[in-house]
């Protein structure tokens, strides 16, 4: 099979992540106004609850599978055996979890009141398990992943405009969300035979995966729970309307993280490969990853801070004005989550699954504590603030476990250029706002972007930020080449 370059993979993943950013910009304003906060809250709550069950059915294979397959991708026989063994484990675990899920729907009133909606989302358990997304990530088939995902997003977009017409259509919207999110996974399974050759069941060795999967299981469940616990606990401690307000904030955070992590997320397979074959390349790639996160996270945080009210107005409308403060409180998580992702990649690719699992468990504990303390008195604002605090605590613990590695690379990490450039650019735009500012929300976003990004880019050049200088150098070289 052909393994593309990291630049190609990053480019394809940026297209995919851009679609994950652009499509919500089209769908969220429409459904937010049609379904109202209560309808959106019902869908968001059901989706979050199902994601919890999915964590148990996946058994951490969404992460473990990437590493396990990436390490043997040059050996088709061993790769085929690994994929088939993991699929068998997933089918068994999903069957057990789905039976428990059906039982829960009948005994918990908060779930049974929306049984049809929860059944729609329950199909995600099977679609996610058989989707083998981890396999295609391991063999770095990002062009296929991108094309397939965008196609199903387009189909889902048309279905949404055709069938979601009034507030009562929130269940239909939930079904469309399932199709857009997981429908493409059926294609993954059908296409699998092109890469692997299945062997008789008697030759499989499922036990060899159970021990290394333990750490991934604990970490996957813990991290998945603590990234969703704010929304789930908010659903139990408040109304669908409050959940609807907060889900818009979570969607905006997810869109921004998707854009920031567009390059970061393609690195794990290559880091796992370099960890066994080239420590110099491993170290270099890790440093580039951190510098990239600083560059985009700080720009995202300060830019959204400038126009949070305009973003909420465009995406949600007047019913969601109370989402502005939660959005501001959750902004620090953009940087912290991205750094947590990078340090998690280090722990995974270097074989330190136990530390990776422990940090995620600690993160879950922090998240539950912060949510129970802050949600009752502050509602959606408390949920947003607890998210940022939880991620910060998890980052501190991850830095402690990775301290030896960080100490060896910290001198090569350019920490100051991005935050300094972002702060200066923010105060420039903030000063201009005191003299003049457009009334239209869309124009606020455009003007803020132009006035912020131009000085931000200029100051990065002045501060000698290596990523920006590298892009400029390549652009100038390409321009000179075309001139001749």
Task: Examine the domain organization and report whether 108 and 249 are in the same domain.
Answer: no
| Look-up of token digits 């929860």 | 118
Confidence (pLDDT) at 424 = 92
| Helix runs in 350-440, H state only | 353-378, 380-401, 403-409, 417-435
Domain tally, the chain: 2
134 in the same domain as 41: yes
pLDDT at residue 272 in the model: 58
In order, the DSSP letters of 96-141 are HHHHHHHHHHHH-HHHHTTHHHHHHHHHHHHHHHTT-HHHHHHTT-
Verify that 190 and 240 share a domain, yes or no: no
Of 414, 439, 458, the one marking the end of a domain is 414
Give me the mean pLDDT over the 340-346 stretch: 81
The residue among 127, 122, 103 whose CA lies nearest residue 53 is: 122
Q: What is the pLDDT of residue 447?
A: 92
State yes or no: pLDDT of 332 exceeds 70.
Answer: yes
Indicate the average pLDDT of the chain. Answer: 82
- Is the pLDDT at 275 greater than 70, yes or no? no
- 252 and 389 part of one domain: yes
Question: Is 60 exceeded by the pLDDT of residue 4?
Answer: no
Whether 356 and 221 map to the same domain: the answer is yes
Closest CA to 144 of 157, 131, 159, 156: 131
Do residues 50 and 181 make contact, with C-beta atoms less than 8 angstroms apart? no
Average pLDDT over residues 242-267: 78
Q: pLDDT band at residue 61, thresholds of 50, 70 and 90?
A: confident
Q: Phi and psi (nearest 5°) for 165? A: -120, -20
Identify the residue with better confidence: 282 or 88: 88
* Domain housing 239: 214-257+276-414
φ, ψ of residue 154 to 5 degrees: the values are -65, -45
Q: Tell me the three state secondary structure of residue 60.
A: coil
Q: Do residue 187 and residue 224 come from a single domain?
A: no
Residue 452, pLDDT score? 93
Burial 12-42 (b: 16+ CB within 10 A, else e): bbbbbbebbbebbeebbeebbebbbbbbbbb
| DSSP classification of residue 200 | -
Domain co-membership, 144 together with 227:
no
Residue 6 has pLDDT above 60, yes or no: no
Q: Is residue 89 part of a domain?
A: yes
- How distant, in Å, are the alpha carbons of 83, 86, 281 from that of 68? 9, 10, 20
Tell me the average pLDDT across 297-309: 92
Rounded mean pLDDT of 231-236?
A: 83
Interatomic CA distance for residues 422 and 463, integer angstroms:
12
In a domain, 469, yes or no: no
Which of residues 388, 414, 440 is at a domain's end? Answer: 414
Average pLDDT over residues 132-151: 80
CA distance 83 to 196: 8
Confidence tier at 484 by pLDDT (50, 70, 90): very low
Q: Which residues does 287 contact at the CB level (< 8 Å), separation at least 6?
A: 409, 412, 413
Q: Answer yes or no: is 250 within a domain.
A: yes
Residues 73 and 187 in one domain: yes
Condensed to tens digits (0 to 9), the pLDDT of residues 354-394 reads: 787 788 888 888 888 999 999 999 999 999 999 999 889 98
Q: Which residue has better confidence, 208 or 283?
A: 208
Of 246, 251, 200, which is closest to residue 385 (Cα–Cα)?
A: 246
Rounded average pLDDT over 123-145? 82
Residue 403 pLDDT level (bands cut at 50, 70, 90): confident
Q: What gap in Å lies between CA 196 and CA 150, rounded to an integer?
A: 25
Residues 433, 261: contact at Cβ < 8 Å?
A: no
Q: Which residues of 245-261 are buried (b: 16+ CB within 10 A; e: fewer)?
A: bbbbbbbbbebbbbbbb
Give the pLDDT confidence score for residue 180 in this predicted structure.
Answer: 83
Q: Tell me the per-residue pLDDT of 172-195, one tens digit each, with 9 for 90 and over.
A: 999 998 888 888 888 888 888 888
Residues shown for the chain: 484
> Which of 170, 197, 224 corresponds to the end of one domain?
197
In this structure, are 172 and 237 located in the same domain? no
Q: So what's the pLDDT on residue 479?
A: 47
The answer to whether 304 touches 445, Cβ cutoff 8 Å, is: no
**Main-chain phi, psi angles of 74, to 5 degrees:** -85, -5
pLDDT at position 225, please?
A: 74
Query: Would you say 426 and 302 are in contact if contact means Cβ atoms under 8 Å apart?
Result: yes
What is the pLDDT at residue 20?
67
444 part of a folded domain: no
The pLDDT score that the predictor gives to residue 304 is 93
For the record, the structure tokens of 252 come out as: 């905006």
pLDDT recorded at residue 425: 93
Q: Is 351 left (phi over 0), alpha (psi -120 to 50) or beta?
A: left
Residues 167, 223 share a domain: no
Asked whether residue 431 carries a pLDDT value surpassing 50, the answer given is yes
The answer as to whether 281 is a domain residue is yes
For residues 386 and 234, what is the distance between their CA atoms, to the nearest angstrom? 11
Separation of CA 15 from chain center: 15
| Rounded alpha-carbon distances, angstroms, from residue 319 to 37, 313, 315, 324 | 7, 9, 11, 11
247, 378: one domain: yes
């Amino acid at each position: 099979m052909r393994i593309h370059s990291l630049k190609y993979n990053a480019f394809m993943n940026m297209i995919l992540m851009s679609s994950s950013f652009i499509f919500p910009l089209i769908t969220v304003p429409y459904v937010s106004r049609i379904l109202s906060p209560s309808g959106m809250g019902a869908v968001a709550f059901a989706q979050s609850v199902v994601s919890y069950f999915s964590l148990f059915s996946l058994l951490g294979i969404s992460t473990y599978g990437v590493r396990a397959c990436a390490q043997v991708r040059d050996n088709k026989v061993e790769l085929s055996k690994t994929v088939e063994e993991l699929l068998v484990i997933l089918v068994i675990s999903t069957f057990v979890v789905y039976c428990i899920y059906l039982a829960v729907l009948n005994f918990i009133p908060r779930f049974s009141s929306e049984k049809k909606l929860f059944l729609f989302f329950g199909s995600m358990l099977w679609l996610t398990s058989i989707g083998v997304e981890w396999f295609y990530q391991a063999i770095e088939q990002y062009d296929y992943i991108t094309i397939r995902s965008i196609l199903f997003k387009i189909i889902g977009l048309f279905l949404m405009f055709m069938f979601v017409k009034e507030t009562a259509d929130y269940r239909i919207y939930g079904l469309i969300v399932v199709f857009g999110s997981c429908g493409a996974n059926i294609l993954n399974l059908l296409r699998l035979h092109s890469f692997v050759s299945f062997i008789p069941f008697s030759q499989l060795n499922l036990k060899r995966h159970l021990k290394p999967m333990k750490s991934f299981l604990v970490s996957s469940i813990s991290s998945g729970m603590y990234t969703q616990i704010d929304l789930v606990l908010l659903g139990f401690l408040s109304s669908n309307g409050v959940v609807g307000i907060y889900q818009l904030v979570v969607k905006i955070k997810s869109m921004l993280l998707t854009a920031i992590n567009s390059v970061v997320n393609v690195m794990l397979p290559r880091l796992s490969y370099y960890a066994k074959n080239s420590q110099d390349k491993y170290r270099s790639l890790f440093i580039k990853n951190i510098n990239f996160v600083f560059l985009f996270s700080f720009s995202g945080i300060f830019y959204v801070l400038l126009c949070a009210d305009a973003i909420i107005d465009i995406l949600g409308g007047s019913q969601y004005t109370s989402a502005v403060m939660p959005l501001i409180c959750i902004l620090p998580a953009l940087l912290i989550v991205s750094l947590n992702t990078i340090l998690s990649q280090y722990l995974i690719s270097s074989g330190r699954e136990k530390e990776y699992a422990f940090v995620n468990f600690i993160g879950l504990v922090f998240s539950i504590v912060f949510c129970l303390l802050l949600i009752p008195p502050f509602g959606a604002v408390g949920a947003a603030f607890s998210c940022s605090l939880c991620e910060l605590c998890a980052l501190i613990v991850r830095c402690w476990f990775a301290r030896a590695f960080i100490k060896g690379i910290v001198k090569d990490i350019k920490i100051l250029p991005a935050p300094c450039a972002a702060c200066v650019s923010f105060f420039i735009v903030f000063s201009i706002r005191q003299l003049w500012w457009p009334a239209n929300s869309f124009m606020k976003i455009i003007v803020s972007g132009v006035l912020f990004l131009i000085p931000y880019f200029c100051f990065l050049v002045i501060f000698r930020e290596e990523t920006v200088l590298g892009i400029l150098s390549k652009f100038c070289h390409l321009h000179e080449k075309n001139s001749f």
